[in-house]
Amino acid sequence: MKEIPVWVVTGFLEAGKTTFIQKCLEDPEINNGEPLFLLLCEEGIEEYHTAAFASKNVWAATVNSYEELDPDAMRRFAEEHGFTRVIVEYNGVWTIDKLFSCMPRNWRVTQRFFICDATTFNSYNLNMQQFMFDKINYCDRMTFNRCGDNIDRMALHRAVRPINRKAEIIFEKPDGTTERDEVVDPLPYDMDAPVLEVPDESYGRFYADICDNFRAYDGKTVRYKGMISKSPDVYGETFIFGRDHRIWGTNENQFVGMIARWPKANELNSEEWAVVTATVKADERLGPILTVTELERTEAPENPVATDY
């Protein structure tokens, strides 16, 4: 089957999703006449002005519940109407995995937008953290609209970056003009130093960066404190070295670490703390792998559970 590209636009009620999609459908480069399916996953406050669409070859359907998100129904829509592209206006309080589970196999998500009202972001972030995490973690581009001069943009930046380090962040002013977030978060250690000394409180930041950019660490020497983990799947000179990590927006922890190799690994026990000095190898299949050159057992840090924030 021919692949059908899908653009997903998500956000909470009155965030501005409809306005964003309306502008897209008024653009002849986007709405160029090819048959397009607009899947609406909630009854919004704003209505679409179809007369302003660059092309009228747009077919829309609304689903009001999870149960209506059915892959067979989506497939029938495609067959009946012959659309070749899809835009989804997705309900902010529905989880993204539900959308994936209903999509026909030949639908391919090409771009993911999270539209957020900057004036209500803090309230949603405080009261609906799991839904907020789900959307921030998923998006390619996050737009904060209604972003007046009274909005603390750095606070918005700091709320997004621990969850998603790759998404483009856009600030849209009340007059419709936009600015891109150009803040570059400095790493808490010197990448050009002979040894990258990772502070105890910065393990979460280090782990996220080395996993996202492991090739940049190839051949680097790192030193940091962590916990040893051993299991039947890890044996010989190999163990896992990492930390418990707080899952954002929850009270749950998850152990995250890297494969480490040391000739005396059989002498180690799970849940022992150590400071290791190791050389990083960037493995294209397994990610970063540590070759330990020094290992010193130690006590747990003051805050044994790592965070990104």
Q: What is the pLDDT of residues 199-230, one digit of tens each?
A: 999 999 899 899 989 999 999 999 999 999 99
Mean pLDDT of 95-115: 91
CATH code where residue 273 lies: 2.40.50.140
The answer on 54 and 155 residing in a single domain is: yes
| 128 domain residue, yes or no | yes
Look up the pTM and report it.
Answer: 0.74
**pLDDT score, position 78:** 80
**pLDDT score, position 184:** 82
Among 151, 180, 209, the domain boundary falls at 180
* 3 state DSSP class of 62: strand
Q: What is the pLDDT of residues 260-274, one digit of tens each?
A: 999 999 999 999 999
Domain that holds residue 204: 196-306
- Average model confidence (pLDDT) across the chain: 91
Q: Label residue 45 by pLDDT band (50, 70, 90).
A: low
CATH code where residue 119 lies: 3.40.50.300
Q: What is the pLDDT of residues 291-302, one digit of tens each?
A: 999 999 999 999
Total structural domains within the chain: 2
**pLDDT score, position 68:** 84
Mean pLDDT of 50-55: 95
* 3 state DSSP class of 296: strand
**pLDDT score, position 309:** 59
| 190 domain residue, yes or no | no
**pLDDT score, position 64:** 85
The answer on 88 and 16 residing in a single domain is: yes
Among 180, 208, 227, the domain boundary falls at 180
**pLDDT score, position 249:** 58
**pLDDT score, position 50:** 93
Mean pLDDT of 52-61: 94
pLDDT at 80 over 80: yes
Distance CA 239, CA 230 (A): 5
Residue 87 tokens, joined: 């835009």
Q: What is the pLDDT of residues 223-240, one digit of tens each?
A: 999 999 997 776 689 999
Extract long-range pairs of 130-133: CB within 8 Å, 24+ residues apart. Answer: 130/249, 130/250, 131/12, 131/92, 131/93, 131/95, 132/249, 133/163, 133/248, 133/249
The answer on 253 and 162 residing in a single domain is: no
| Alpha helices (H) along the chain | 17-26, 71-81, 96-102, 121-127, 129-138, 153-160, 203-212
Distance CA 123, CA 119 (A): 9
Among 180, 213, 243, the domain boundary falls at 180
**pLDDT score, position 262:** 96
**pLDDT score, position 76:** 82
The answer on 207 and 148 residing in a single domain is: no
CA angle, residues 102, 81, 72, in degrees to nearest 5:
25
